Amino acid sequence: MSPESPVVELVGAGFAYEDGPPVLDGVSFAVPRGRAMALLGRNGSGKTTLLRLLSGGLRVGRGRLLLDGEQVSYDRKGLTRLRTTVQLVVQDPDDQLFAASVEQDVSFGPMNLGLPREEVRARVAEALEALDIVALADRPTHLLSYGQRKRAAIAGAVAMRPRVLIMDEPTAGLDPHGQERLLEALARLRAAGTTVVMATHDVDLALRWADDAAVLSPQGLRTGPIAELLADDALLDAARLRRPWGMAVAAVLRAQGLLDEGAAGPRTPEELDAWVAAR
Ligand SMILES: Nc1ncnc2c1ncn2[C@@H]1O[C@H](COP(=O)(O)OP(=O)(O)OP(=O)(O)O)[C@@H](O)[C@H]1O
Ligand SMILES: [Mg+2]
């Protein structure tokens, strides 16, 4: 299998909630191995629904879900195979956390895999460290702040060491330091080979972090290199997305003849600084 062949893939997927109109209709969405992918779209466009279909929490009504090119059967065996490969961190941490303490919550998944106690302990320590919540290990989850609960929920998925980590708006509610810590943790996971998909409303974060974008709009789902899709004003309009800061800066630089037409612009203030310094 090529390095970028999809790990999970929806093919012609359709889905409607009970008695509701179709949320997704004939959507094909491949998550290529090793990539960082941002899923963007307005409220109610179907991001959460799509992520739940990919991780097996919802069952495709029409179309197929493939894991490593093989159709997923929604029986116990198929779902176990899917869930040990793909981990979803849901939008609201209160839908995910249930154990009495942070440590118990994070260890629940690895323990359920039947791993030896030492291995569970090592994974939990690693996940708490990655999310910067070591000091919260013994705290009751229900007494944590929202951002702390969010990090604890992500740690629970990280401790499963999934090949694909899917997160639904993981940075919403995190302070700037927490966001940076999360991005650092994701960079380490990616270096270790984890594929990461993130739904977000933050186009600046998406541009900076992701390789690829998947944009849901009334015209359907478009996927492609993030810098290309977020430079497409018609697509941004259709999906009601703001133009990322970096794209706006690049447009100004191009209009002033300071940046070549085809050249990529800076994605962050730091990159702009470096670009100016290098001139
Ligand atoms: N459990 C449900 N039952 C019925 N309809 C639902 C359910 N969950 C979502 N929907 C509907 O499906 C559509 C897509 O919702 P979804 O939660 O996937 O959107 P989203 O892109 O994640 O939005 P947001 O940015 O607000 O998180 C919406 O019209 C929503 O009202
Ligand atoms: Mg959502």
Write out pLDDT tens, residues 97-125.
Answer: 999 999 999 999 999 999 999 999 999 99
Strand spans (E) along 114-193:
164-168
| Residue 122: CA count within 13 A, CB half-sphere | 6
Residue 2 has pLDDT above 70, yes or no: no
Number of DSSP helices (H) and strands (E) in the chain, helices first: 11, 10
Query: Mind listing the pLDDT tens digit for each residue in 151-201?
Result: 999 999 999 999 999 999 999 988 898 898 889 989 989 998 999 999 999
φ and ψ at residue 179, rounded to 5 degrees: -65, -45
The answer to the question of residue 271 being in a domain is yes
Ligand 2 center to residue 141 CA distance, Å? 23
The answer to the question of residue 256 being in a domain is yes
Q: What is the DSSP letter of 145?
A: -
Q: How confident is the model at residue 3 (pLDDT cuts 50, 70, 90)?
A: low
The answer to the question of residue 279 being in a domain is yes
Q: For residue 89, give the amino acid letter.
A: V
Average pLDDT of the segment spanning 217-229 = 94
Query: Mind listing the pLDDT tens digit for each residue in 131-140?
Result: 889 999 999 9
Please give the angle made by the CA atoms of 179, 185 and 189, to the nearest 5 degrees. Answer: 140
Contact 165, 158 (CB under 8 A): yes
Ligand 2 center to residue 46 CA distance, Å? 7
Q: Relative to the CA of 45, which ligand 1 atom is closest?
A: 21
Give the length of the chain.
Answer: 279
- Residues paired with residue 40 on neighbouring β-strands, in sequence order: 215
**Best of 19, 24, 42, 49 to mutate for ligand 1, by most ligand atoms within 8 A of CB?**
49
Q: How far is CA 225 from the centre of its chain?
A: 15
- Residues paired with residue 37 on neighbouring β-strands, in sequence order: 197, 212
The answer to the question of residue 266 being in a domain is yes
Measured CA to CA, the distance from residue 244 to residue 208 in angstroms comes to: 10
Instruction: Provide the pLDDT for residue 222.
Output: 97
Q: Give the number of the ligand closest to the Cα of residue 41.
A: 1
Cα torsion through 55, 156, 34, 27, rounded to 10: 20
The answer to the question of residue 277 being in a domain is yes
Count how many domains the chain has. 1
Cβ partners under 8 Å of residue 117, min gap 6: none
Range(s) of the domain holding residue 248: 244-279
Residue whose Cα lies nearest atom 7 of ligand 1: it is 17
The answer to the question of residue 208 being in a domain is no
Measured CA to CA, the distance from residue 218 to residue 29 in angstroms comes to: 16
The answer to the question of residue 94 being in a domain is no
Query: Mind listing the pLDDT tens digit for each residue in 36-83?
Result: 999 999 999 999 999 999 999 999 999 999 999 999 999 999 999 999
The answer to the question of residue 273 being in a domain is yes
Cα torsion through 137, 139, 140, 142, rounded to 10: -100
Instruction: Provide the pLDDT for residue 190.
Output: 92
Average pLDDT of the segment spanning 271-279 = 91
φ and ψ at residue 86, rounded to 5 degrees: -115, 125
**Best of 39, 48, 88 to mutate for ligand 1, by most ligand atoms within 8 A of CB?**
48
Q: How confident is the model at residue 32 (pLDDT cuts 50, 70, 90)?
A: very high
Residue 262 has pLDDT above 90, yes or no: no
